[in-house]
Amino acid sequence: MLFHAFLIKYAEIAIKGKNRYLFEDALVKQMRLALEPVEGDFQVIKEQGRVYVLCPEKYDFDEAVEALQRVFGIVGISPVVIYEDQGLEQTKKDVLGYMKARYPEFSGTFKVYTRRAKKSYPVPSMEVSAELGGVILDAFPGASVDVHSPELTVSVEIREKIYVYSETLPGPGGMPVGTNGKAMLLLSGGIDSPVAGYMIAKRGVKIDAVYFHAPPYTSDRAKQKVVDLARLVARYSGPIRLHVVNFTDIQLYIYDQCPHEELTIIMRRYMMRIAEHFAKESGCLGLITGESIGQVASQTLQSLAATNEVCTLPVYRPVIGFDKQEIVEISRKINTFETSIQPFEDCCTIFVAKHPVTKPNLNVIRKSERKLEEKIDQLMKEALENTEIIEIH
Ligand code: ATP
Ligand code: MG
C-alpha cells in the first residue's frame, strides 16, 4: 500500500503554552534533518496541533520510517493514506477500499474514530464514524464493533482532504534535540560513552564531543573508530562537533613525574579539565561520560570523586548504575556495538599501571599533581591550541 503521509504523535502532556511551540519547532527541525538523506522530497509540516510528513510519490517506506524512528520526541508514527474530500458517500467507498487493501481478511473487533479538523464539514464526527463503521460491518462478516477496546482503530481525520490511518509504529520517545541545551560528551572508542551520549541526547540535549588520542601510541584507526562512533550517535543526536585533542605530551609528562599507580586518575583529571575548557567555550552546560560505578579502578566512588573534583560544570553519567550487559543492550539497539568492539588501542590502556589505586586520596593526588607545575600549563596550552575539530553530520 502506498502511504502519502506520516502523522507524528508526540508526548504533549509535558509541554504547555510557549514551550509547546519550542518543542514542535525543534521536532520539525530534527525530522527534516533525519529525512534529508532519504531519497525523495519529504515535507514536514506543522498544522493545527499536528505534525505531518508529506511523502513524495516514490520513496522507500522502511528507510523513511527508520529515519523517523531516530528522532527523539516522536512517540508514534502513523502511516496515512490521503483521499480527496468528495463527500461522505465517496469517503465510505474510500475507507472500504483502504480496509480491503490493508486487511483483506479482517475479522475481529474494530471502531472508527473520526476527528473533524475542518469545522465546516457538514456531518458531525460521530455520525461519520457510524456510517463508516456500517460499511465495514457489511463488507466483513467476521467483524464487530467494540468502542472500548477494539483490536483495530480506523482513524479518519477530516481536513481539506481525508486522512485515514489505522496503525502506529513506535518512535524513540524522549524530547527533540535542541530543547534542553547542550553538553560535552567525552567520547572514547569504548562501548559506554556512545551509549551515554545517546541517552543524554534523548532528553533533548544537543551534543558536542571530545576525544583524547595519543599518537603514535594510538593509531589513526583508533581515531577513525571514534569518528565512526560519533557518526552513529549523530544519527540520533544531529550534528556533533568533535574535538580531537592530542594528549600524548601531557600523558608522557604525567608518566615521567607522577607515581604510576596514580597515572590513570591524574590523567582523567586532565581530561576533565580540557573537556570543560571546550565545553565552556562552546556554551555547553555540562559534561557527559560513560562511567559506571565499579566497572574499573578509575570508576570506584573514590576515583569518581577525585575526577569530579576538578570540574565546575555538572558531570552527567547516565549509565552510572548500569551493568555492562545493560549498556551493551543499548549499544546494540543504537548500532554502535559492532564499532565499539573493534580492537584498537585506547589512550588510557597504554600507560595503565599493573596496580592502579582504587581508593585515591585527594591530598595525595593533589600533591602528585604539584610535581607537574613546571611544564603542565604550557603543555595544556599547546594541547588546546592544536586541537583538531571535526564536524560530524
Ligand atoms: P568506554 O567504554 O566508554 O570507553 P570504559 O569502560 O573504557 O568506557 P574508561 O576508559 O575508564 O571506561 O573511561 C570512562 C569514561 O571516560 C568513558 O566512558 C569516556 O566518557 C571517558 N573517556 C575515557 N577515555 C577517553 C578518551 N580517550 N577520550 C575521551 N573520553 C574518554
Ligand atoms: Mg574507554
- pLDDT tens track for 253-285: 999 999 999 999 999 999 999 999 999 999 999
What's the whole-number mean pLDDT along residues 185-197?
A: 97
Q: How far is the CA of 256 from the centre of ligand 2 (A)?
A: 22
- The contacts of residue 138 (CB under 8 Å, 6+ apart) are none
Concatenating the DSSP letter of every residue in 51-74 gives EEEEPPSS--HHHHHHHHTTSTTE
Q: How far is CA 358 from CA 116, 296, 301, 320, 380, in A?
A: 65, 9, 9, 17, 26
- Average pLDDT of 286-294? 96
> Does ligand 1 lie within 6 Å of residue 222's CB atom?
no
Contact 229, 335 (CB under 8 A): no
Q: Tell me the best of 185, 187, 188 to mutate to test the pocket of ligand 1, counting ligand atoms within 8 Å of each CB and taking the most.
A: 188
Given the CA of residue 296, which atom of ligand 1 is nearest to it? 11
pTM (predicted TM-score): 0.92
Ligand 1: atom nearest CA of 185 is 20
187 pocket-lining for ligand 1 (C-beta < 6 Å): yes
Q: What is the pLDDT of residues 149-163, one digit of tens each?
A: 999 999 999 999 999
Contact predicate 237/207, CB 8 Å: yes
Residue 133 is predicted with a pLDDT of 97
- Complete DSSP assignment for 132-195: HHHHHHHH-TTEEE-SSS-SEEEEEEESSEEEEE---EE---SB-TTSS-EEEEE--SSSHHHH
